[in-house]
Amino acid sequence: MKKIVVIGGGNMGFTYAEGIYNAKIANIEIIDKSDDRVAEINGMNKMKAATSYDALKDADIIFLAVKPQIAPLVFADIKSIVNKNQLFVSVMAGMTIETIQQGLGIDKVIRCMPNLPASIQLGMTTYVGSKEVAKENLDLVGTILKSTGKAFEVETEDMIDNTTGISGSGSAYIFYFMNAMAEAAEDFGFSREEAKTLTAQTFEGAVELYKQNDISLEEWMNRVASKGGTTRAALNNFDDNNVHNLIKEGTIACVNRAKELAADK
């Protein structure tokens, strides 16, 4: 089995590591600079974690999962340890393949954009490789990424930034909508537990209907909204307040922020 080392055992790095560990398709170790975090991960008695970069020496694949803003510091720390035979997979929003290649003095980079449900095999990842990545390695990483949910290759790095605007950050948009619905449920007198059930089951049911049928979202909305009925009152209210366009504008703000991060802002 290949040895994968993940640098950055935080939200996304740990999530990916856990997803890959659970799929049992590679040996996986985590490097994090925080003693407490390393102790916490080792305490789970699953994956090995360390603060030192020693594990990088014989790694086949190295996942870069620190914040883009601190990547230059990590590059400076590990440049003399890593080598050109190793394959690098970056999950960092906005950080370009070229910046990673130059920062580490290496060639083979796959840039991907995952999301947090990867920890429960329901992740969504897109990826693109540098021209130096052989098809065999791209396929290998594709298989690893698919072990955490769905994954597909895209043609350009721009599409990685665009993925950030939809699925990469998108779980948070869904939580945002759910938060408002759950809060409304509590305002209507339901308990917190009941509000959670009402909200989660409504999302799950709608998502499954959408996935299992070839029917447009607009058509689904129309099937719920009886003429002159309750749903139309809610949807009209959303439309009057421009909610549809505001959500789209949010996705654009997200993609723009990814591009700003690429420009080191």
Q: How many residues bind ligand A1CAB, per CB under 6 A?
A: 4
Contact with ligand NDP (CB under 6 A) among 19, 68, 129, 142: 68
Q: What residues from 1 to 60 belong to the interface with ligand NDP (CB under 6 A)? A: 7-13, 31-34, 37
Sequence-distant (6+) residues with CB within 8 A of 128 are 97, 110, 111, 112, 153, 154, 155, 156, 157, 159, 160
Residue 150 Cβ, how far from ligand A1CAB at the closest point, in Å? 16
> Does position 13 bind ligand A1CAB by CB under 6 A?
no
| First-to-final CA distance of the chain | 39
Round to whole Å and give the CA distance between 88 and 91: 10
Q: Which does 213 bind (CB under 5 to 8 A by kind): ligand NDP, ligand A1CAB, none?
A: none
Q: How many CB atoms neighbour CB 197 within 10 A?
A: 14
Binding flags for ligand NDP, 143-172, as an x/- string (CB under 6 A): -------------------------x----
Q: The tokens of 223 are what?
A: 């099937």
Are the C-beta atoms of residues 124 and 115 closer than 8 Å to each other? yes
The residue (of 6 and 59) whose beta carbon lies closer to ligand A1CAB is: 6
What does the DSSP assignment read for 77-136?
HHTTT--TTSEEEE--TT--HHHHHHHHT---EEEEE--GGGGGT-EEEEEEE-TTS-HH
Residue 152 Cβ, how far from ligand A1CAB at the closest point, in Å? 17
The residue (of 172 and 225) whose beta carbon lies closer to ligand A1CAB is: 172
Contacting positions for ligand NDP (CB under 6 A): 7-13, 31-34, 37, 65-68, 70, 73-74, 91-93, 113-116, 168
